[in-house]
Structure 1
Amino acid sequence: MTADARPGVLLLSSNLRRRYAEDILTALSLPRGALLRFRYEAEYVAPDLQTCIADGSVISRRTVIAFVADVDEPAPFLIPIRLASVVRTDKVADMIVLQLSVEDYANLEDLPLTEQELAASGKAWLDKLRERNGGRYYPAVTKFPDLRIHEGGDDDAKWLGIARRLSMHDTFAHSYFMRVSQPLLGNGAAMDFDDQGRLAISDRRSARLPVVFYSKRYSDDVPRTLSCVTDGTFLRVSSDDAYDVASRYDSVEFWLQPETMSFDALTRVTLRLGGPQDGGAGAGSRALTTHAWFPVIVRRSRRRLSFRVAGSIAGAFLVALPAILGQDSPLWARMLAALTGAACIAYATVVSARGGK
């Protein structure tokens, strides 16, 4: 990676808490352009990065997200996950919240493929990280050694390379990895996220969410389900909303259909891959749950609204036309105008309002 393209911020997430490790699964699963939040207590954010947050210079800065474990052990584990850019920062009490727009997956072609080699390189890298930050370990920094990642390559291959390396660690050994590809309209056109990480779809148009998943091992002792959930009022799943996971890897596609409305609405789509909500014993209790969600704006169709208004105006005019023409006009012409006007009003207020359903 060139010096100009090298990320200027490093955000590490560990396995000290289940939520921290699941944040890594979320970062790995989101489509390009979606937003992700990382939270740190201020004492774990390096002073240089706190300065950049305070003066706003961190905004738009390229960031690399990585997983780290066993930091204080002789054989630490470090895997870069994904590139992103900072779009917003907030400070709540003693917490610093960074909102990121996810970008490319990290290309790990230059990283080792065995756990022993990864541990050795991780130890040397963490020693250099401490050295560059005054001898202290911070999980959020601006000064860090080269991570030996570069851009380019196939997204599917990069995602799988990351998943396979992560599954070498006990944290992810029993978990499933998920990837949500770029959402598509019904005609196959790609849907892009706006600068606030939201998708937009107009009513009477459908969308598709291609999803793939992978796990290092499969066990039928614990049932796992891949599900897609919406609010059901403004946006609904028009395909099967759940898929029973019965293999180590597969691909699934969920279809979404917005409801026809007279106003714009903000909702969200949530995908979940995991076992029962209440957990359980055995491998299922050690397996993490993957979540991915993003907001969706359902917009009323401007074309349909214009057609509805035009139909109502034309209908009202035709209904009033017999009175305008007066008694001297033929009866059949007045009746035809009134009936045609009534049909126009009925179509505009009933059929068009319901989207043709």
Structure 2
Amino acid sequence: MTLLFISSDARPRYAEDILTVVATPPGGIFQFRYETRYVAPDIQSIVGNGMIVGQDAVIAFGGKVGTVDAFIMPTRLASVHSAEIIAEALIIKFLAKDFPDVTSLQRDAVDIEDKGKVVLTQVMSRYGGTYWPAVARSDGLVANAAGSGPSEWNDVVSRLSKLSAFSGSFFIRLSLVYATNKSFKEMFSRSKFFSMTPVELHDGSATLSNRNAAILRCWFSRETLASDERRITVKCDDAIVQISSDDSYDITSRYDDIEFWLHPRRLPVNSRTVLSIRVPGNPQVPGDLTTRVSLPIVVSRPVAPRLTRGLTSAVGAGLIAAPAILGVGSSLGLRLLLAAAGALIVSLVAALSGTP
């Protein structure tokens, strides 16, 4: 059973959710909200009994909803991370997976709408012709996994950009990589960049250490060049993660690839912050929407330095105790040397103990 969740153009904020969906890196979390009156009874049932968590889902854009020309287009595959009905609202979170194969759709609004209209009619027929944005059955919808790389991302967004709802919007693609064990020259070498290790997301969050810098790569594209000034901004709690590059970028082209450097702070305890990426839209222009993505980051306190300090302290204490163990029969000079060395080691460890 593949669940279907639709975010439509009924309101600009709903369509903006689709921009978030396609920008979220694999393993990242995005969230939808529905009033329960828009949620099919079969979805409400499996939410109530807890069976929905872990289920596969197709995330689709719904265009021209409420008209005879309503259509859908699949935009992302996901699995349900959590779901809860609170008061009269369904709050559901998804883990982003692959992009669907949309190559059967031409990069043409008419073709996308015509084929999407047929699919939506088939889905609705399962529910007596009623349109539900959230359903447990998606009869007629074929959404095979294509992959999560740049090419698959582009296949989806190049078609979404042809639709009037997104005609003036910026689409972004994010990836997070470690910047470890490389010389300064290598860090800034484009040829070396691609060998950097991707940061895997676990339960929707990226885990970093103060021993590793990270780079947030951001690719953006728009159907046409914006006539006004636009800027991509990145924000997080500076006390947890320092943005060690510019935290914004002036957009002067239709597409580009940019980087933001992140340096986790040294912290006494594991800490969490949310990295927020935003590209503003223009509310005065139809189809020019705001793109927002949130990426939770956990900065873990490394265990190795603490173990090293503990072992070093033990060595120092052992050296201090050595004269007593050796006894008066041993050389006085040796005993004094061992005791002094032990005291020096313990003092150094104590002096550095405030550094995680």
Give TM-score, length-normalised by structure 1.
Answer: 0.85
- 1:309 and 2:310 matched: yes
Instruction: Name stretches of at least 5 consecutive residues in structure 1 with no aligned partner.
Output: 1-6
Structure-2 change in CA distance of 1:245 and 1:307 (3 Å): same
Q: How many residues get paired?
A: 342
> What amino acid sits opposite 2:41 in the alignment?
P
Q: Say whether 1:199 aligns with 2:193.
A: no
Kindly indicate whether residue 129 of structure 2 is the aligned counterpart of residue 121 of structure 1. no
Q: CA RMSD in A?
A: 2.7
- Trace 1:250-329 onto structure 2 (pairs within 5 A): 250-274=256-280, 282-283=284-285, 287-318=288-319
Partner in structure 1 of residue 86 of structure 2: 92
**Distance change in 2, residues 1:352/1:255 (3 Å):** farther
Name the CA distance, whole Å, in 2 between partners of 1:237 and 1:322.
51
Would the alpha carbon gap of residues 257 and 351 (structure 1) be closer, same or farther in structure 2, given more than 3 Å must change? farther
* Aligned-pair CA distance for 1:84: 0.3
Q: Is the 8 A contact 1:110 1:149 kept in 2?
A: no
- Contact kept in structure 2, 1:270 and 1:294, CA below 8 Å: yes
Q: How big is the shift at 1:308? A: 1.5
How far is 1:273 from its partner? Answer: 2.1
Q: Matches of residues 103-142 of structure 1 in structure 2 within 5 Å?
A: 103-142=97-136
For the structure 1 residues 271 and 340, does the alpha-carbon distance in structure 2 shift closer, same or farther, using more than 3 Å as the test?
farther
Q: Distance in 1 between matches of 2:247 and 2:342?
A: 43
Q: CA deviation at 1:330?
A: 7.2
Give the distance between the partners of 1:354 and 1:242, measured in 2 at CA. 31
Flag the 1:149–1:258 CA change in 2: closer, same or farther, 3 A.
same
Could you tell me which of 146, 155, 173 is aligned with 1:152? 146
Conservation of the 8 A alpha-carbon contact between 1:304 and 1:352: no
Which 10-residue stretch deviates more, 72-81 or 265-274? Answer: 72-81
Alpha carbons 2:71, 2:119 under 8 Å: kept = no
**Range with greater deviation from structure 2 (103-112 or 322-331):** 322-331
Residue 315 of structure 1 aligns to a residue whose secondary structure is: helix
Partner of 1:291: helix, strand, or coil?
A: strand
Q: What secondary structure is seen at the aligned counterpart in 1 of 2:76?
A: strand
1:99 is displaced (CA, Å) by 1.5
CA 341–50 in structure 1, closer or farther in 2 if over 3 Å, else same: same
Match of 2:197 in 1: 189
Is the 8 Å Cα contact of residues 60 and 76 (structure 2) preserved in structure 1? yes
Deviation at 1:83, TM superposition (A): 0.1
CA contact (8 A) 1:65 1:83 kept: yes
State how far apart, in whole Å, the 1-side matches of 2:337 and 2:224 are: 72
**Aligned letter for 2:23?**
S
